[in-house]
Structure 1
């Protein structure tokens, strides 16, 4: 036995030594890709030396003698920090993710090949201004300089993720950058998905009940168009069933798989406001912006400061793009919110019954444009894919957005979207905005912008403004579906008639009120077809923003930051009294039934609640689960499996039902029973459902529950985050306050096993005060580095969680204080460098 123990001990020692050796080897290999911010690099093609000063949080401050050299430096800095993120982004746009990830991403690649974003990006190069194209080329040269340095100096393959994949890193091109711009635009539109959802539900519900479950925006516009067309009243939209008689909602749906197009409600959101001198304590404009997009680790955003010959620019960039997308220069600050312009339509194309290689048009049948492509897989196999296009756009796979559910036999669905064009100077518009020096120049700069449609909030040293930029399709006044439903492609009245002229888009410059604001609310009261959209964001954030801006006469940068972190839900304040009022006054004083006793306890807690979605409180969790269960109780019997399309809290629907708008209280009656149920009865049942679910998960005492335990912001690494214990290292997670309808927006799916896990929110915040512009504050939700072992991978995340930010100045000396390194890019002789390569 002693001898056995001795040999087992030796074996364990050898295994431990081997394990430690393997870990050491992994550490040496992986840590080699952590960027060294304090060294010199040879930079072929550079005109003169470029300095990349990394401040206390590794934010790059880039200085060079020419504009091209500065953008070269930005490309180098982006590649240092986010090379893997840039590589996967361009592969996504190219439809080449499956070469890394195998069949799992094949549906995404097939869809991206159909959209042909990369081909359109290549074509769009010709539409850029000479200055913008020069920036794209210089940026690509900077990225490639770092890629060469990785190979030449064995810098750990540039990122640890590359050790998992054998594919070489191809040189960066200007088209790669433009394709990422189109990819971001794709993530910011959900209009096509909204149309498909409306069509699917319209096959199950009469028109009045469809208006309940998918209500129109309930309030007027905050910005008026400069001009509005007038004319005789138009006919109302025809039903989808009338337009598409063969469409039938299926009894059951198969798994959706990976989706490329954003589902309804996930097309991007944001808050932005600006206050002129008459509304600020220091009598200088203040601007605040916090775009709400998908969470990830690393973040979509990367902070940077560029010292251009025309002046400094600072703010948020997207790795892959040589552009400060949101930020400020010495004289102008700008912020962006999603404009919710209806920029996409689904067309149902009828196949020619005599030849399925053709489809019907108003002028007869036409052949599909077809192309066969091969998509490579990680195991070396290739999959043949036949891609088809109609005159309206690419044919969509049936699984995308569930278009197959609303496409009759003998038909296919095609997508029209404003960004599906090579005539796209969007990048040049953003480039000109970055260099504009006044609010009027900013508006003119965005004139050629195509997609995504955006509300641009601007402030210069004198005043503020807001305007909508982007192509807004003009539809025929006689279109049966008015762009709200998938349209028969063979009817000429459904074709777009051009775009709304830029000068007729909503705008307000130098308002008398001294304030402009947007929370994805309705911006135009124009009638169809110049209405811009039927689908807007929720009204509750705008109500809160309007109320808080009016609550004090003068504001400051500090009050702007506080408002960005405001977690009070005007939705809860509006809806809770509707669903709880009868229950508050009809419960027994001392109920004997434990179920009723717990219900009374919860109602008492909610009665004392002020609507603040605090992570430390139980009331937000009780209310949110009640709303979720109430939606199910109200709609599940009418919708059946289609409830998945609207699952989650739907407060505007609940308001209509409990106010009995246009007879909406009929939803409270369960149509499978002989008696007529009332809304208070359904509210009580839903509350019991919610409390039972929460008790099973969080314990029997509601006072011990916490919103933050369920409501966790999840910034997960898209590749390494799912690898067991490795996820604990690379995923960044925080309990957070706020919710779907608060200014501090952290949204959740409202369904599944973790309905309140938040994967969408304000990953970047900015507040600029022209009384002290160099005291302006910025923050992103993670850190600058994409390397999980870097201390700058998540060093900003705690500041973000607390609602704080970092001061970012255009003064280079401010950045030098506490800086963590200076990278110098030094021009090299072309001949010597070529010989080295």
Structure 2
């Protein structure tokens, strides 16, 4: 059996003599640390959340069932090779061994005790179902339905609210060659951006295998895993090689008008769904073991040939000095009628030399982007990271952490001509303690509300076609995200923005000056939010720097909600010369148990854009004895 160790942050380090031992140990520590989250993930995958949260879960449950999330996971599991099936089964065996599946054990987990829920055991295919449920809304479903509404109402002007701007999917990842680092080896840094959740979506973990009989299975990997899925997926340092991803913003899901006799997944009645995972019965799990066994960039590259979705930009580097980009996943090739005729097969690999760099931030990279999709994030984050790296050499982890912390707001230049005179000299730096940033944000919120209330948008105010996609159908949210694009247009939709900008300034003229961090605070979502009889665990009101289109992406909803509801759900620096020279951090902590010493102990580090140490010396860790 695997031996379990913990570092000072409570991060689990799992050490076993076989892959099965390691998988079992990972399942064990995941259930110990995240029992409520695992039950919540199981309910979301199976469409049974209403059994815990009541009517607030009904819309999602209908969606999960009609999308056939479980069916896709079961078909995908059946198609896996025996080795990958065994890997998943060993993980689930460990998880089930520690899940509180009896009423007396459930009382030890606060959310389970509050709801009276007893965790259910997992079948071997459940990790695939929970992963599918976490990712299925990460691409095109909401945007496509919103685009239809925009085109119906705004016609040729629909592009004004569907633009290259901040979207719910985004991340930063960058790498430099060894000639630019103090260590002489490549370095990778970055941070994935998602909705903040309590507990966090990513789990820090170390997985080490000392198999005496199989050289392939002598690995030692630190990284981030999706809770409920074994191995490490998107961000990891395996000693000789490291990798990271960002969303490639690819167009890989289609929605089709269907009749009542349609036999397939549906988003809602009358709207059929096609996605790579459902079409191929494949959720990319064949990549999991090859990633753990990777020694070189070529190994990681080959492992990601098995990836399906989300479609990602992949940045890799190894101790031999190779630094490489490719995209990974399944993107359909469509004929003129929209039928899928195959899959794009050129991942557009790019290698850079020791003096080179790679930066990806969900923006248009080049010709490959046009093959993948149509809408991307604006270039601001990428251009800012490039500028911060410039031609610098001697780079160390602290330099990469400083990039994580950069709070210069992209897109401000498009708004300059509309800013009140008192804000014309604002430097655009969205620091939590900045009065100027607070004043700008207050005016921006008032401006968004003024613009969103304009009659030009009245036709967009009908309810969303389904509650699951309602977040995409809020006009004020759409205007807030599109503000730079609207400001760059000449009287968009006949709206006199200059007049509304002046009225917005009048709206906030009597407000007392306050720093940005007074309202821009860390605000993770919890399953109990909006449930009248349940109270979500409290999280300290923590001011954070950044904004929706800063490198330090801590996005709110201007004019609607100024707190930070999404942003960096992990940060990392991987140094290929020495893993311990880098660092990592998550917004909350290693434990999902409210009140536990490691529930929110990383929040102060994360809020200050500092990294927790990566510890690899087994003698500096504490072994669990039970």
TM-score (norm 1): 0.68
Instruction: Check if 1:617 corresponds to 2:434.
Output: yes
Alpha-carbon distance in structure 2 between the residues aligned to 1:711 and 1:649? 19
Alpha-carbon distance in structure 2 between the residues aligned to 1:319 and 1:626? 39
Q: Structure 1 residues 724 and 645 mapped into 2: Cα distance closer, same or farther (>3 Å)?
A: closer
1:793, CA displacement in angstroms?
A: 1.0
Q: Deviation string for 1:637-680 (max 9, x for gaps)?
A: 31115266442475885555555xxxx4132845xxxxxx5x54
Q: Deviation string for 1:578-605 (max 9, x for gaps)?
A: 323xxxxxxxxxxxxxxxxxx6xxx33x
1:512, CA displacement in angstroms?
A: 7.3
Q: Structure 1 residues 667 and 283 mapped into 2: Cα distance closer, same or farther (>3 Å)?
A: same
User: Which residue pairs with 1:488 in the alignment?
Assistant: none
User: Which residue pairs with 2:465 in the alignment?
Assistant: none
Alpha-carbon distance in structure 1 between the residues aligned to 2:34 and 2:244? 24
Instruction: Check if 1:500 corresponds to 2:341.
Output: no
Q: Structure 1 residues 784 and 720 mapped into 2: Cα distance closer, same or farther (>3 Å)?
A: farther
Alpha-carbon distance in structure 1 between the residues aligned to 2:531 and 2:481? 36
Query: Does the 8 Å CA contact 2:480/2:559 hold for their aligned counterparts?
Result: no
User: Which residue pairs with 2:523 in the alignment?
Assistant: 714
Instruction: Check if 1:174 corresponds to 2:106.
Output: no
User: Which residue pairs with 1:339 in the alignment?
Assistant: 248
Which protein shows a greater Rg? 1
User: Which residue pairs with 2:464 in the alignment?
Assistant: none
Instruction: Check if 1:688 corresponds to 2:589.
Output: no
1:665 aligns with one of 461, 465, 490: 490
Instruction: Check if 1:455 corresponds to 2:313.
Output: yes
1:422, CA displacement in angstroms?
A: 5.5
User: Which residue pairs with 2:468 in the alignment?
Assistant: none
User: Which residue pairs with 2:557 in the alignment?
Assistant: 749
Q: Deviation string for 1:765-817 (max 9, x for gaps)?
A: 11011232222201111111111121111111111111112111333123x2x
User: Which residue pairs with 1:470 in the alignment?
Assistant: 329
Alpha-carbon distance in structure 2 between the residues aligned to 1:142 and 1:766? 28
SS of the residue 2:154 aligns to: coil
User: Which residue pairs with 1:320 in the alignment?
Assistant: 228
SS of the residue 1:289 aligns to: strand
1:575, CA displacement in angstroms?
A: 2.5
User: Which residue pairs with 1:760 in the alignment?
Assistant: 566
Instruction: Check if 1:443 corresponds to 2:301.
Output: yes
1:762, CA displacement in angstroms?
A: 0.6
1:181, CA displacement in angstroms?
A: 1.5
Q: Deviation string for 1:297-337 (max 9, x for gaps)?
A: 22112211111132211111222111122211111111121
User: Which residue pairs with 2:476 in the alignment?
Assistant: 647
1:608 aligns with one of 416, 425, 434: 425
Alpha-carbon distance in structure 1 between the residues aligned to 2:51 and 2:493? 51
Alpha-carbon distance in structure 1 between the residues aligned to 2:69 and 2:493? 46
> Which structure 2 residue ranges, 5 or more long, are not aligned?
211-217, 462-472
SS of the residue 1:69 aligns to: helix
After the TM superposition, which residues 406-417 of structure 1 pair with which residues of structure 2 at under 5 Å, given as runs? 412-417=270-275
Q: Deviation string for 1:221-271 (max 9, x for gaps)?
A: xxxxxxxxxxxxxxxxxxxxxxxxxxxxxxxxxxxxxxxxxxx932x2111
Query: Does the 8 Å CA contact 1:128/1:425 hold for their aligned counterparts?
Result: no
1:721, CA displacement in angstroms?
A: 8.7
SS of the residue 2:14 aligns to: strand
SS of the residue 1:419 aligns to: helix
SS of the residue 1:687 aligns to: helix
Alpha-carbon distance in structure 1 between the residues aligned to 2:296 and 2:520? 41
User: Which residue pairs with 2:208 in the alignment?
Assistant: 307
Instruction: Check if 1:368 corresponds to 2:318.
Output: no
Query: Does the 8 Å CA contact 1:70/1:308 hold for their aligned counterparts?
Result: yes
SS of the residue 2:182 aligns to: coil
Q: Structure 1 residues 551 and 571 mapped into 2: Cα distance closer, same or farther (>3 Å)?
A: farther
Query: Does the 8 Å CA contact 2:457/2:475 hold for their aligned counterparts?
Result: no
Q: Deviation string for 1:267-288 (max 9, x for gaps)?
A: x211100111122233211101
User: Which residue pairs with 1:200 in the alignment?
Assistant: 149
Query: Does the 8 Å CA contact 1:634/1:667 hold for their aligned counterparts?
Result: no
Q: Deviation string for 1:337-379 (max 9, x for gaps)?
A: 1111101122123x4xxxxx5xxxxxxxxx433xxxxxxxxxx
Q: Deviation string for 1:538-569 (max 9, x for gaps)?
A: 32211211211216344221111110111111
Instruction: Check if 1:735 corresponds to 2:543.
Output: yes
Query: Does the 8 Å CA contact 2:245/2:313 hold for their aligned counterparts?
Result: yes
SS of the residue 1:170 aligns to: coil
Q: Structure 1 residues 51 and 216 mapped into 2: Cα distance closer, same or farther (>3 Å)?
A: closer
Query: Does the 8 Å CA contact 1:543/1:570 hold for their aligned counterparts?
Result: no
Alpha-carbon distance in structure 2 between the residues aligned to 1:170 and 1:215? 43
User: Which residue pairs with 1:27 in the alignment?
Assistant: none
After the TM superposition, which residues 57-72 of structure 1 pair with which residues of structure 2 at under 5 Å, given as runs? 57-72=9-24
Alpha-carbon distance in structure 2 between the residues aligned to 1:162 and 1:657? 47
Alpha-carbon distance in structure 2 between the residues aligned to 1:517 and 1:430? 25
How many residues are aligned here?
605
Q: Deviation string for 1:711-751 (max 9, x for gaps)?
A: 11112442389679955x53343111100000111111234
Query: Does the 8 Å CA contact 1:425/1:448 hold for their aligned counterparts?
Result: no
Q: Structure 1 residues 721 and 681 mapped into 2: Cα distance closer, same or farther (>3 Å)?
A: closer
User: Which residue pairs with 2:469 in the alignment?
Assistant: none
1:76, CA displacement in angstroms?
A: 0.6
After the TM superposition, which residues 219-618 of structure 1 pair with which residues of structure 2 at under 5 Å, given as runs? 265-266=167-168, 268-309=169-210, 310-325=218-233, 326-349=235-258, 351=259, 357=260, 367-369=261-263, 389=264, 394-397=265-268, 412-421=270-279, 423-424=281-282, 426-461=284-319, 462-476=321-335, 478=336, 493-501=337-345, 504-511=346-353, 514-525=356-367, 531-550=371-390, 552-572=392-412, 574-580=413-419, 603-604=421-422, 606-618=423-435
Alpha-carbon distance in structure 2 between the residues aligned to 1:653 and 1:785? 37
SS of the residue 2:74 aligns to: helix
> Which structure 1 residue ranges, 5 or more long, are not aligned?
1-48, 218-263, 352-356, 358-366, 370-388, 399-411, 479-492, 581-598, 671-676, 825-837
User: Which residue pairs with 2:592 in the alignment?
Assistant: 786
Query: Does the 8 Å CA contact 2:22/2:209 hold for their aligned counterparts?
Result: yes
SS of the residue 2:364 aligns to: coil
RMSD, aligned α-carbons: 2.6
